[in-house]
């Protein structure tokens, strides 16, 4: 049996959507965490939960493993749970998954755990797999895409954690100019600007683990001067993007213009775009025409990365794809086309 209390460094797991594990592992390495280990659904590593929640831009949430033990029957399950000092974590509510185990009824497992673990609003993840029970406490609270700055959204906004992951999949890093011609509420631009400013993406919100972690300093890194700009044909979207950026403590250069009137702010860089999609969205067909014109014209010297549900539409970009990644946003399957 292994079990731990809230002592540091903790056994942590950065949860992410399937397929994005290498991105999270890369971010951990870049932030100096050497022991990241990719497993399906996330990356295991050791560290300070509060630092991880504040510093990491790409995971969905961070959970802290507190115990792992064999549990073929309820007696073993409750004995394992009793061995943990639950006091630091406040009250918890079990969420259980069972696979390939003698204890297969998740409701019954949750009931037995609830009889041992002090109840409350935090989440205790219990996973039974091949008769081994792993108990992990959620350290994040609200999911990590809720940075706190995106108070205003437009149609189909991107999750902030996904935008941060897509930038990394496109091999963008501060220093390279970034432009989003259909920026909506500004998610790509603001994620990039926060990164370039050396600000921690989770600097401005609270996390569940503040109940048991020492406060510690908010991490920050040297700023890298970076041109970050874009636009949107909807003036309301541009206003929302500017106000969201101000709430995030960064500046972005966005103008209310149709893509066909937008000009590159530098000779080279990365153009990113999440064009409108869906039957009820306006301008879906023309959006790809406009992007094709930009990429063949004023942005010819730029790299591009487009998020699209539509393989046909991607052909209208007039550039061959160099790489493609499958991702999900809001339950919809999308492709991130690098061209």
Ligand X SMILES: C[S@@+](CC[C@H](N)C(=O)[O-])C[C@H]1O[C@@H](n2cnc3c(N)ncnc32)[C@H](O)[C@@H]1O
Residues that bind ligand X (CB under 6 A): 153-158, 181-182, 184-185, 187, 232-234, 237, 258-259, 274-276, 283, 286-287, 290
Q: In terms of CB distance, is 103 or 178 closer to ligand X?
A: 178
> What is the three-state SS of the chain?
CEECCCCCCEEEEEECCCCCHHHHHHHHHHCCCCCCEEECCEEEEEECHHHHHHHCCCCCEEEEEEEEEECCCHHHHHHHHHCCCCHHHCCEEEEEEEECCCCCCHHHHHHHHHCCCCCCCEEEEEEEECCEEEEEEECCCCCCCCCCCCCCCCCCCCCHHHHHHHHHHCCCCCCCCEEECCCCCCHHHHHHHHHHCCECCCCCCCCHHHHCCCCCCCCECCCCCCCEEEEECCHHHHHHHHHHHHHHCCCCEEEECCHHHCCCCCCCCEEEECCCCCCCCCCHHHHHHHHHHHHHCCCCCCEEEEEECCHHHHHCCCCCCCEEEEEEECCEEEEEEEC
Q: In terms of CB distance, is 134 or 161 closer to ligand X?
A: 161
As given in the structure block, the two tokens for residue 24 are 């999270």
**Least distance to ligand X from the beta carbon of 338, Å?**
17
**Least distance to ligand X from the beta carbon of 272, Å?**
9
* Number of residue whose CB is nearest ligand X: 184
Q: In terms of CB distance, is 123 or 274 closer to ligand X?
A: 274
**Least distance to ligand X from the beta carbon of 157, Å?**
4
**Least distance to ligand X from the beta carbon of 88, Å?**
37
C-alpha distances in angstroms, 215 versus 51, 61, 65, 220? Answer: 9, 19, 20, 15
Q: In terms of CB distance, is 131 or 152 closer to ligand X?
A: 152
Backbone angles phi, psi at 45, to 5 degrees: -165, 170
Q: In terms of CB distance, is 226 or 244 closer to ligand X?
A: 244
Q: Residue 116: name the closest of 98, 99, 96, 93 by CA.
A: 93
**Least distance to ligand X from the beta carbon of 337, Å?**
15
Q: In terms of CB distance, is 92 or 183 closer to ligand X?
A: 183
**Least distance to ligand X from the beta carbon of 327, Å?**
13
Q: In terms of CB distance, is 14 or 237 closer to ligand X?
A: 237
Q: In terms of CB distance, is 237 or 250 closer to ligand X?
A: 237
**Least distance to ligand X from the beta carbon of 286, Å?**
6
**Least distance to ligand X from the beta carbon of 297, Å?**
14
């Amino acid at each position: 049996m292994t079990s731990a209390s809230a002592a540091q460094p903790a056994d942590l797991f950065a949860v992410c959507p399937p397929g994005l594990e290498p991105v999270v592992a890369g971010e951990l390495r870049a932030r100096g965490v050497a022991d990241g280990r990719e497993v399906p659904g996330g990356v295991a590593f050791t560290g300070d939960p509060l630092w991880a929640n504040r510093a990491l831009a790409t995971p969905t949430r961070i959970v802290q493993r507190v115990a792992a033990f064999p549990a073929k029957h309820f007696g073993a399950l409750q004995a394992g749970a009793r061995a943990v000092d639950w006091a630091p974590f406040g009250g918890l509510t079990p969420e259980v998954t069972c696979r390939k185990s003698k204890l297969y009824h998740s409701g019954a497992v949750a009931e037995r755990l609830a009889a041992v673990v002090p109840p409350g609003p935090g989440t205790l993840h219990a996973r039974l797999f091949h008769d081994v029970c792993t108990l992990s406490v959620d350290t994040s609270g609200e999911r990590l895409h809720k940075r706190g700055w995106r108070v205003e959204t437009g149609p189909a906004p991107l999750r902030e954690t996904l935008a941060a992951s897509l930038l990394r999949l496109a091999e963008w890093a501060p220093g390279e100019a970034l432009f989003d011609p259909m920026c909506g509420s500004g998610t790509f631009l603001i994620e990039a600007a926060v990164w370039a400013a050396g600000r921690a993406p989770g600097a401005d919100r609270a996390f569940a683990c503040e109940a048991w972690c020492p406060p510690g300093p908010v991490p920050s890194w040297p700023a890298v001067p970076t041109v970050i700009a874009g636009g949107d044909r909807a003036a309301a979207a541009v206003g929302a993007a500017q106000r969201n950026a101000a709430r995030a403590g960064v500046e972005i250069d966005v103008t209310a213009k149709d893509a066909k009137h937008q000009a590159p702010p530098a000779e080279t860089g990365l153009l990113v775009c999440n064009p409108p999609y869906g039957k009820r969205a306006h301008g879906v067909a023309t959006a790809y025409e406009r992007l094709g014109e930009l990429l063949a014209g004023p942005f010819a010297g730029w790299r591009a990365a487009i998020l699209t549900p539509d393989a046909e539409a991607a052909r209208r970009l007039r550039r061959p794809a160099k790489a493609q990644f499958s991702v999900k946003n809001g339950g919809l399957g999308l492709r991130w086309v690098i061209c």
